[in-house]
Structure 1
């Protein structure tokens, strides 16, 4: 049984390639902080280390800087390239070569089985015997090529050469499927044999085979394995080694080019073009070879390089290499050996001829070497460009001139195209790809410049300008945007800014997007941040309009309703409202109340806490006061859990202390903070112990809690009122009875006294008469 690699492997490879492309293009391959275990890559936050962020000039990707060194291909491909994956042979537990992988897709299952049998013959004799049996079942070109492949594998190069030659000598219509493979294999044989021979004819014949291969592709021969691209690298190898001392053979019979050879200026110019074309057209061998060549040039004596540096492509190659390696120029404030060598080469670099074309890039290299005087000198002669103004801004900052830097940044931004003025010129596929890459690089540079403008404005105390520039810088600098919006601006300032300049944007959210790969428009994310801030500060009615997702709007509406009801009611109803708000705050707190950055890090869904990851940035007094005023309350991770616990505690104040609801509310509050703030959890527990009823689950208080039963609490409240009056009755019953008796006796005495007085008065009247 045989099968292709699992689709997940291919998908993973595609993802890795996309990630590499993103790293290469986005913001000029900016470095990022080290990765945390099991986490995504955390984007660079410029506001955390502003001095270094503003002085740092990002290095560029070598693969993109070598693109201008390429030449147009003299042919057009007639079909899509074959998949570059190897084929897993499950029966023999091995990977098969790329040619056999292609044959698997090209041939029927029966024919592929015959080719496999031929290729797997134990020796050439066995293969010839099998070939005689199946010669009528397969095209002759395939049989002959397979025999040649068997001989090649057995290092029987004479026999292999014979079979491959038979393939290319077949009539055109018969050899079509294998002629390119045979020509390429013949060139390999000649190059292998050149390792042990002083005869330069091997190189000549190899180059002839490669030229013939390219000619056939020019005429329209289908080249699914892109052997014509590989042939460019082989021709460059021949140019480098023809006429040189043979390379010593090691374990690998055919090694990549060794470049410890004398370099001729004309030859090296052609070699650079061939490798660059190979790389730009999609063969990574060209990239690898140019990287090796660059290192070889760097290893040369400076005096030997003087002659080579007269060639423009040598200059361009070294500049591209230096630009992509600038992070290696210095360590710990001191130039490294590499940086010292670059500085040494620059002393003999033909800058007079390069002033107009390369002044800005050379200035950038001088800047990265710390030679600011030379950088300024080169800028004087360079054509105005985005890079020259960008460097000018950084040089102003080196002198402490923030105002001059701000003006230079504004000029730099003007030199980069916007989406509105991009050319709609029709180009071929390769040119279109290169144009797209170039635009990506320019866009990335503009993003970085806008971000640095924002950081500079922040340093100058121009906070609204800072947010404006950062918002223009895009997603790569979202955390800087969030910092200014969430911690530096006041809520009123942020709301006014968003209402005036940040409209809601419609977008489609793909179902398969990862949680950490937020593709929501940056406008919506800023509005969402404002909505959470408003909700945290109690502006619940206005907050809802800044949540773009319907599901969030439902949650926010319910939370606002609960808090509003709690404000306008009392007793059990208020407790129920506070409890509902507490539930929402605990279950959806990160979603509707979380800080985008510290202490909650909603930007990572709270999965990562980077509070101690970065050193604290010293802030100007004005900014520090604003940041302190916007701290979370409490300023602790998952701060909304404490808020939820407070709401549950508030609810407990409005239910009978002898109710199940009282115990349940305090139990929930205890559990929500138990592991994060044990002392606060203890306070809630002690409050329960001092006032609450016995419940069976109290021994696991905070760990196993029941849901508050407000209906029972209402009944308990009524019962408590009745019990209160009954207790008052029993307390007053005896004193009232005694009082009634006393009052009755007093009344009787008063009546008797009045009767006696009346009787005496009557008697006195009678006596008087």
Structure 2
């Protein structure tokens, strides 16, 4: 490939004088929100079926060997870091030999390098000397070529240590001489082609190729065909549509495309990017595209690029594709098929479809892909014809879209079932991520038919698959992670809690508790993270935890306990951050124990005999709700966003989509009831009234962020109800409650005003709600009796005469009772002496 300095990169690799360059694409824009297919359901179901260009480009050709590219080593790695070549050399060379090799690489003369490399294996010695001649001495002539050829002439066992490198460099030398003085470009190219072929043949036969030079040779060979009669055409010539690119003979251009396709088929991003550049150049002019579409592979390249990388146009009279749009679905390019406002089909697409149609359907390569392109371009009859012509997952996907356009939901459901029946396996017509999208789209249609549990199962299945195994080999969407946002939405807001419980019991058992290492740390360390990496958290446990929180919110804390992680499962020990020193520690609390304590406190609050015990239970429940509410009862999505650890007030789920900038339309009035909010959050087609009712019924009560804090404040008020207003405990619980909602300008004053109105002066009243003390419930239990005694003493002190009289009367009464008692005892004694039975 001629862009991104790849030619120089592999040259330096080959001569072992530098590390290779690598390339990576990173998308980072805040939290890694998952892709959501339920936000715009009509758009989801209308969107054009397509794969990523990288997938399509890497499947244009089929590799017949196991050669692999190596384009990932860091050019800026520390000098002492072993490269793949170093590691390969270490398998047959001693440290002393490797040191000698490093020394002769730095020399300026090939003969001197050869002379000082006497301890090296023959192939390594010859190649190193040739490399010095090639680069250090600037010799692209006979000395370097002879030494590289000498490597190839060695016996196989000896030559294989550098045969691929030598053949590759021979090819580079001949390619570099194509337009030299007195050269014959065709002859030099033929010799270079032969040398590159030898590099691939020797590598396929087992010769060492740690740097992936055999695969890189496809790109170098392709570069030689991107030339006019006098010069090579570079990357910028194609990007800028310079005359040089147009002067490349069509046959040579097709040959280059085939070679880049071979390179891409061997896992080379360099090959993919070369194909991308050529395809973009070709599709920018219909005449260029027309010259290529008679070649099946080139035709597939153009169609794949058009589907994956050509955006539709936006706005009246627009002639340029709309900007890359992360909200546009698919891979971010505007797609007119979705029906977005102001989006029109890019004229390039119908032009390409017409050109393909003109040469005849029989000559169309991969009818399913052209069917997808015809669908997006508005050629629906052609799309139907082509989709019916081929049996593949992609063809079924297109048929599902066409059926929905006709309003035939049953046929669409059948087509989706055909497209996704092999999930998670697939034919080559769709990449794994696209097959996951098919399954997700199927769930949208299933949901629209009121089949809620089945729709959830479809989404949970694809989300579970997307999060399993190595992320690079998973079914995850290229730009996002998975469909967990929609999955948890259905689990939390659409399924009833008993529907979810039944599903979890049948399909999401708790995973076994792994044995924790000895001396498990309280502060995360290397051992902890290594253990955690070897025992990752599982999505089934995540779903169980979501169910557990729902059960707690429903007042079924006892039922929730088995669905929280086992308290002995160290995978789920929460991490706590000390914001004063920035250090993290493993929390001492556990999910089940905390949920049980919360449930027990609520039970005591409702059934304890004494007021003070009920007050204490309400206070304990309030404290647990405030401190651990997010973990044991928080909503996964709005309003608490437990899935984001409560750090954001927005995230995955059903949020009202904001209007694009510049929209001056009248905004709807704020929704005030659950039903109104359901209507606002769930507008449009493919949504049943029953789903809206379920959404409204499952709304948080109260519907505020961190709703459990408001619940805690409510429990505080109940605790205060059961306490003597003038007690210390009354003031203390209200102080604590105020601290729970101190940020709430409406709720915090309610608790404070109650204290002011009913409570007694306490030492902490000056900082009420900020510096509180623990309530003294024992003192509160004695408080009524102490208060009664104090009142009696106060009354007696202020009414002495009456008090004395009452005391005398009381004493007289007691004396009289005593006299009567004594008399009765004497009478009984006399009767007993006479044998008379007592009364």
Q: CA deviation at 1:205?
A: 2.1
Residue 375 of structure 1 is aligned with which of 363, 373, 383? 383
Map of 1:360 onto structure 2:
368
Residue 134 of structure 2 is aligned with which of 140, 152, 158? 152
Residue 273 of structure 2 is aligned with which of 277, 283, 288? 288
Residue 504 of structure 1 is aligned with which of 485, 509, 512? 509
Aligned mates of 1:468, 1:137 — CA distance in 2: 66
Structure 1 residues 64 and 729, CA, compared in 2 at 3 Å: closer, same or farther?
A: same
More moved, 734-743 vs 150-159: 734-743
8 Å contact kept, 1:330–1:369: no
Q: How does 1:568-587 map to 2 (within 5 A)?
A: 568-569=607-608, 570-587=610-627
Instruction: Name the SS of the counterpart of 1:245 in structure 2.
Output: coil
Aligned mates of 1:688, 1:156 — CA distance in 2: 92
Q: CA deviation at 1:723?
A: 2.3
Q: How does 1:9-408 map to 2 (within 5 A)?
A: 36-37=29-30, 39=31, 41-73=32-64, 84-86=73-75, 88=77, 103=89, 107-121=93-107, 123-124=108-109, 128-129=111-112, 132=115, 134-154=116-136, 155-158=138-141, 159-170=143-154, 174-197=158-181, 199-200=184-185, 201-241=187-227, 244-247=229-232, 260=245, 267=252, 270-302=255-287, 305-326=289-310, 328-332=311-315, 337=320, 339-350=346-357, 352-354=360-362, 358-379=366-387, 381-399=388-406, 401=407, 404-408=408-412
Instruction: Name the SS of the counterpart of 1:156 in structure 2.
Output: coil
Residue 660 of structure 1 is aligned with which of 715, 722, 728? 728
8 Å contact kept, 1:87–1:100: no
Aligned mates of 1:88, 1:505 — CA distance in 2: 43
Map of 1:431 onto structure 2:
none
Residue 533 of structure 1 is aligned with which of 550, 557, 571? 550
Q: CA deviation at 1:174?
A: 4.8
Q: CA deviation at 1:153?
A: 2.3
Aligned mates of 1:324, 1:738 — CA distance in 2: 104
Q: CA deviation at 1:722?
A: 2.9
Map of 1:29 onto structure 2:
none
Residue 474 of structure 1 is aligned with which of 463, 468, 473? 463
Q: CA deviation at 1:670?
A: 0.9
Structure 1 residues 179 and 395, CA, compared in 2 at 3 Å: closer, same or farther?
A: closer
Aligned mates of 1:708, 1:438 — CA distance in 2: 68
Aligned mates of 1:111, 1:100 — CA distance in 2: 12
Q: CA deviation at 1:595?
A: 0.9
Q: CA deviation at 1:473?
A: 4.3
Structure 1 residues 482 and 86, CA, compared in 2 at 3 Å: closer, same or farther?
A: closer
Aligned mates of 1:370, 1:251 — CA distance in 2: 34
Bigger proportion of residues as helix: 1
* TM-score relative to the length of structure 2: 0.70
Instruction: Name the SS of the counterpart of 1:687 in structure 2.
Output: helix
More moved, 714-723 vs 279-288: 714-723
Residue 411 of structure 1 is aligned with which of 408, 415, 423? 415
Q: CA deviation at 1:349?
A: 0.7
Aligned mates of 1:220, 1:742 — CA distance in 2: 120
Aligned mates of 1:701, 1:113 — CA distance in 2: 74
Structure 1 residues 176 and 503, CA, compared in 2 at 3 Å: closer, same or farther?
A: closer
Aligned mates of 1:625, 1:386 — CA distance in 2: 35
Q: CA deviation at 1:279?
A: 1.7
8 Å contact kept, 2:727–2:780: yes
Q: CA deviation at 1:638?
A: 0.9
8 Å contact kept, 1:329–1:335: no
Structure 1 residues 389 and 568, CA, compared in 2 at 3 Å: closer, same or farther?
A: same
Q: CA deviation at 1:734?
A: 4.3
Count how many residue pairs are aligned between Structure 1 and Structure 2. Answer: 678
Aligned mates of 2:490, 2:365 — CA distance in 1: 39
8 Å contact kept, 1:87–1:98: no
8 Å contact kept, 2:69–2:268: no
Q: For residues 604-650 of structure 1, what are the alpha-carbon distances to aligned partners after superposition, in whole Å with 9 as ceiling and x for unaligned?
A: 22122216784454536654444333321221111111111221232
Structure 1 residues 58 and 695, CA, compared in 2 at 3 Å: closer, same or farther?
A: farther
Map of 2:634 onto structure 1:
594
Q: CA deviation at 1:147?
A: 3.0
Residue 599 of structure 2 is aligned with which of 545, 548, 560? 560
8 Å contact kept, 1:641–1:672: yes
8 Å contact kept, 2:304–2:369: no
Q: CA deviation at 1:566?
A: 0.8
8 Å contact kept, 1:389–1:408: no
Map of 2:13 onto structure 1:
none
Structure 1 residues 504 and 369, CA, compared in 2 at 3 Å: closer, same or farther?
A: same
Aligned mates of 2:422, 2:721 — CA distance in 1: 60
Q: For residues 176-211 of structure 1, what are the alpha-carbon distances to aligned partners after superposition, in whole Å with 9 as ceiling and x for unaligned?
A: 422322221122122122244562222122123223
Structure 1 residues 518 and 135, CA, compared in 2 at 3 Å: closer, same or farther?
A: closer
8 Å contact kept, 1:60–1:324: yes
Residue 697 of structure 2 is aligned with which of 593, 612, 629? 629
Map of 1:4 onto structure 2:
none
Q: CA deviation at 1:579?
A: 1.6
Aligned mates of 1:49, 1:85 — CA distance in 2: 41
Structure 1 residues 687 and 87, CA, compared in 2 at 3 Å: closer, same or farther?
A: closer
Larger Rg: 1
Where does the alignment leave 5 or more consecutive residues of structure 2 unmatched? 1-20, 322-345, 465-481, 517-527, 568-589, 659-679, 812-839
8 Å contact kept, 1:491–1:533: yes
Residue 608 of structure 1 is aligned with which of 648, 654, 658? 648
Aligned mates of 1:145, 1:653 — CA distance in 2: 90
Q: CA deviation at 1:298?
A: 1.9
Q: CA deviation at 1:393?
A: 3.3
Q: For residues 517-537 of structure 1, what are the alpha-carbon distances to aligned partners after superposition, in whole Å with 9 as ceiling and x for unaligned?
A: 997665554443333223213
Q: CA deviation at 1:43?
A: 0.8
Q: For residues 228-262 of structure 1, what are the alpha-carbon distances to aligned partners after superposition, in whole Å with 9 as ceiling and x for unaligned?
A: 22222223333444x7332379999xxxx998155
Aligned mates of 2:72, 2:695 — CA distance in 1: 54
Where does the alignment leave 5 or more consecutive residues of structure 1 unmatched? 1-12, 21-33, 423-434, 745-769
Structure 1 residues 453 and 180, CA, compared in 2 at 3 Å: closer, same or farther?
A: closer
8 Å contact kept, 2:59–2:265: no
Aligned mates of 2:217, 2:225 — CA distance in 1: 12
Aligned mates of 1:281, 1:743 — CA distance in 2: 109
Aligned mates of 2:83, 2:611 — CA distance in 1: 79
Q: CA deviation at 1:365?
A: 1.1
8 Å contact kept, 2:713–2:741: yes
Structure 1 residues 666 and 334, CA, compared in 2 at 3 Å: closer, same or farther?
A: farther
Structure 1 residues 60 and 164, CA, compared in 2 at 3 Å: closer, same or farther?
A: same
